[in-house]
């Protein structure tokens, strides 16, 4: 982890829209991950149960897309040369992000064990059933593999690699029952063989419980292709002579990918949990179009005041995401005395949601849950804003 200050501040030529879009996705990820209660949530703030697409399903792929764009801009400083310093930099960051993700998973399990009264040693030694993959490990793997491919192959070759990845994965899904939520799904089979059931996520679809990891091993393949599409869009941005050219290029790519994704979805459903090829095409297309729109609004028209909120998230994205995960554990497990509940104690999260927000919302659980999520985003923003004002950029 490194911290930079004003001496290494961003170039004046940097597109502010990149930071804003990155910030929007991080704020969105924190919002949808931290409702006040899971028993009743507004549908747009929920993931699709299986096939389909909701606004919530967009935030993670949008961040992965923008990570690809940022990786292109970062590796451009090294002229995309395959050298040991560049490889070491990529591998070091990949390992760091992966280990941070693994640590956060372990920390959650450890604290839950401690709060439940389990022996300290038992709470520490949870490695035999810790979930190995997840959001941060997927980001790490996609960044590492995608960046290495970016310095090995030309942009033209990368386009063919992306196409090959998506076509090959589509064939695997069709042949291997990849769109069925069942034990014989090829994704579940591979993950059980590679990871083991003890290290996998337990998912629920229509009341059916199954060891099925939405960030599993096999579905990382199309995720790498996803990152590389962002990487290639980064080359479009750099290759544009001005913002108008960049906007036109991104809109064209976005429109083509979005339409291709929706049209192909009749045979290959859009599905986040298997990271289907149509999910990749559709979300990358929408992300490209959104980036073009933000460049036009912020960098061309100069409407920037509204974007300051998201810029605070965008300049320290992974740090604030990790902070939100730690805070979620703390407020969810730390209990305070409260005579109004059974046992005489309630978690901080439960107190805010049940005692404070539910009465204000006249018992509307969905509204109270959404309000808690918004307050939680604001709590993390306060930390991000302090770092932003002090020009402190913490990079993972």
| Confidence at residue 157, expressed as pLDDT on a 0 to 100 scale | 96
* Tens of pLDDT, residues 81-96: 899 999 999 999 999 9
Contact (CB, 8 A) for 269 and 178? no
pLDDT in tens, 123-144: 676 777 888 999 999 999 999 9
Tokens of 287: 């992300």
Residue 122: what pLDDT?
66
Q: Note the helical H segments in the chain.
A: 16-33, 56-75, 84-115, 120-124, 135-152, 155-175, 186-194, 220-239, 243-264, 277-294, 308-314, 317-333, 348-350, 358-360, 365-389
151 vs 239: which has the higher pLDDT: 151
Predicted local confidence at residue 250, as pLDDT: 96
Q: b/e per residue, 141-169, with b = 16+ CB within 10 A?
A: bbbbbbbbbbbebeeeebeeebeebbeeb
- pTM for this prediction: 0.92
Higher pLDDT, 395 or 189: 189
Tell me the β-bridge partners of 393. Answer: 4
Cα–Cα distance for residue pair 46/257, rounded to 1 Å = 24
**323-369: per-residue pLDDT in tens?**
999 999 999 988 888 877 777 788 899 999 998 999 999 989 999 99
């Amino acid at each position: 982890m490194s911290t930079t200050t004003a001496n290494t501040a961003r170039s004046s030529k940097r597109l502010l829209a990149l930071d804003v879009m990155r910030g929007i996705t991080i704020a969105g990820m924190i919002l949808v991950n931290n409702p006040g209660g899971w028993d009743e949530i507004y549908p747009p703030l929920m993931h699709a149960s299986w096939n389909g697409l909701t606004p919530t399903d967009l935030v993670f792929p949008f961040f992965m897309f923008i990570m690809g764009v940022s990786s292109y801009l970062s590796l451009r400083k090294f002229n995309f040369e395959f050298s040991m310093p560049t490889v070491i930099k990529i591998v070091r960051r990949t390992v760091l992000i992966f280990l941070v993700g693994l640590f956060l998973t372990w920390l959650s399990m450890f604290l839950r064990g401690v709060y439940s009264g389990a022996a300290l040693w038992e709470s520490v030694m949870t490695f035999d059933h810790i979930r190995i993959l997840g959001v941060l490990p997927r980001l790490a793997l996609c960044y590492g593999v995608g960046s290495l491919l970016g310095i090995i192959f030309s942009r033209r070759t990368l386009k063919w690699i992306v196409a090959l990845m998506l076509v090959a994965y589509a064939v695997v899904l069709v042949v291997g029952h990849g769109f069925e939520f069942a034990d014989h799904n090829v994704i579940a089979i591979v993950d059980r063989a590679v990871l083991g059931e003890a290290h996998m996520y337990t998912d629920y679809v229509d009341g059916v419980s199954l060891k099925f990891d939405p960030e599993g091993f096999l579905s990382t393949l199309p995720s790498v292709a996803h990152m590389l599409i962002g990487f290639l869009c980064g080359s479009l941005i750099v290759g544009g002579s001005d913002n108008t050219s960049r906007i036109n290029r991104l809109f064209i790519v976005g429109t083509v990918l979005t339409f291709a994704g929706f049209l192909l979805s009749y045979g290959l459903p859009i599905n986040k949990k298997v990271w289907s090829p149509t999910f990749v095409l559709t979300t990358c297309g929408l992300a490209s179009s959104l980036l073009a729109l933000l460049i036009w609004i912020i960098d061309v028209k100069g409407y920037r005041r509204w974007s300051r909120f998201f810029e605070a998230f965008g300049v320290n994205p992974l740090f604030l995401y990790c902070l939100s995960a730690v805070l979620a554990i703390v407020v969810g497990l730390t209990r305070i005395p409260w005579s109004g509940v059974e046992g005489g104690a309630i978690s901080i999260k439960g107190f805010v949601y049940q005692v404070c927000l539910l009465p204000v919302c006249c018992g509307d659980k969905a509204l109270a849950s959404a309000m808690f999520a918004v307050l939680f985003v604001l709590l993390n923003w306060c930390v991000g804003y302090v770092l932003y004002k002090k020009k402190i950029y913490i990079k993972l």
